[in-house]
Amino acid sequence: MARPRKFDPEEVLDQSMHAFWERGYHETSVDDLVKLTGVRPGSLYNAFPGGKHGLFLETLARYSKLVVPEKLGALERTGAGLPKLRAYFDGLVEDLTLPEGRIGCLMVNSAMELAAVDSEVREAVRAHMSRLERHAERALRNAKRRGEIPADVSPRAKATQLMATGMGLMVVGKTNPGRKVLETIVDTAFADLDRPEEA
């Protein structure tokens, strides 16, 4: 009797993550995953309980662990201020001007496709949003303390608004509207953070 084929679960997760990221959950079949990974369905189900859905949830967790920190960059540092917050958004714009960047964010894509009907995906997306908002709020609090932004700005409210803008930016970016449109969205979102010139 042939032995089951050995495989690296992390490699399978990476391959599956990119498939879901590019095609979406519904457009990625179990057959697609089997062909992509070279792992038989039974072995996939044994390694990732819950079948395709279980594997998908695991890829969301892996995306959060590996890809999100890369995108956040220095914004995750405790001392980040307004320049690092702006750099995060400028990075989104830069990504969205490239064909490979216009596949967007796996979390945003999943929110649009599944969050309304899948409670587990909804919770994963909420956790992602909360993470982004926490970092943005901390950066804004640092910026306020340093006098980088007007004193009347609410870091919590502004962080929520900026992260919603970021998610919207990634949706708009899928249509390839051009850099100017994307930059205008970001500039408008940051406009009330500019300090007036001293008289």
Domain-located, residue 49? yes
Domain that holds residue 144: 9-193
Domain-located, residue 167? yes
Domain-located, residue 199? no
Could you report the per-residue pLDDT of 96-118, keeping only the tens digit for each?
A: 999 999 999 999 999 999 999 99
Domain-located, residue 3? no
Domain-located, residue 1? no
Kindly indicate the confidence band of residue 199, based on its pLDDT and cuts at 50, 70 and 90.
very low
Predicted confidence at residue 42, as pLDDT, reads 86
The number of folded domains in the chain is 1
pTM attached to this predicted model: 0.89
Q: How far apart are CA 102 and CA 141, in angstroms?
A: 31
Domain-located, residue 26? yes
- CATH value at residue 44: 1.10.357.10
